[in-house]
Amino acid sequence: MFQSISDSIATIELFTCSAVSVESSSDIGLYLSSSFARVRQGYSSLSASEWPSKEIIQGLTDQAAGLFIWAKTIVEFVKQGDPIEQLEQIVLGNLSKGSIDELYCFILKMAFNTSSSDMKKAIQTTTGTIIAVKTPVLSNDILQLYPLFISPTRLEYICNGLKSVMVADSVTLQFSHQSFVDFLTFSQNCPPEYQFHKDVQNQQLCITCLEVMELNLHFNICGLQTSYLRNDGVPDIKLVIEKCIPSQLCYA
């Protein structure tokens, strides 16, 4: 038996900023080098080059300050467009060491700075819905939940701008790291037009779900021939539900 609780707890040190370990910096440097090498392979004009230079990779490694998610996010950002231009924006951005909030602000600014107020509201609604539903949401669900507000092209524009912080999946929409959710939800550094307000978003989602149910629910929605069978007695009940009840209605 342990004499005290403290005897059973191992101390785990997480190094960031000035206390970054040599091992973590080395790992991030290797990750950046290998990731950019894969980016080069996609461009014939870069495949035989030394882009980016060792100095730039070292500078980015120092800026990451031990945060792997920082390094991963900038790699995804670089992959979004012309890699040379994208990386140049990062380098010239003078981002603070290890500041994930500053990096997320930079990404939002680069993606949506010239967007209209309506577009920024659509961005806030989309990101807020992804957070509020707490499960991977389908792109089509967003379109069906807000048909008068979010069009297919508008949603695609939003997703393209957020590629560096989203899971690479063309079907479902979910953020790749909890730190971005925390940034939108809790960070004072998050621009107000993108902040997630739990009560407001939940109320909006609740009203939207009620509207979806009012519009789509009706008697015998699955077109069953008889109501005398239990659900488990209906042949291929799961297929019938998938065919007759859309995913946004299931969620609602």
**Tens-binned pLDDT, residue by residue, of the chain (252 aa):** 444 434 444 443 444 444 456 788 899 999 999 999 999 999 999 988 899 999 999 999 999 999 999 999 999 999 999 999 999 999 998 899 889 999 999 999 999 988 999 999 999 999 999 999 877 888 999 999 998 889 999 999 999 999 999 987 667 899 999 999 999 999 999 999 999 999 999 999 899 999 989 988 988 888 888 877 788 888 888 888 888 888 888 887
Beta carbons of 110 and 126 less than 8 angstroms apart: no
Among residues 235, 108, 244, which one has the least CA distance to residue 164? 108
pTM (two decimals): 0.79
Contact between 175 and 166 (Cβ < 8 Å) = yes
CA angle centred on 13, ends 10 and 18, rounded to 5°: 165
H/E element, 175 = none
Q: Name the token pair of 215.
A: 């519009």
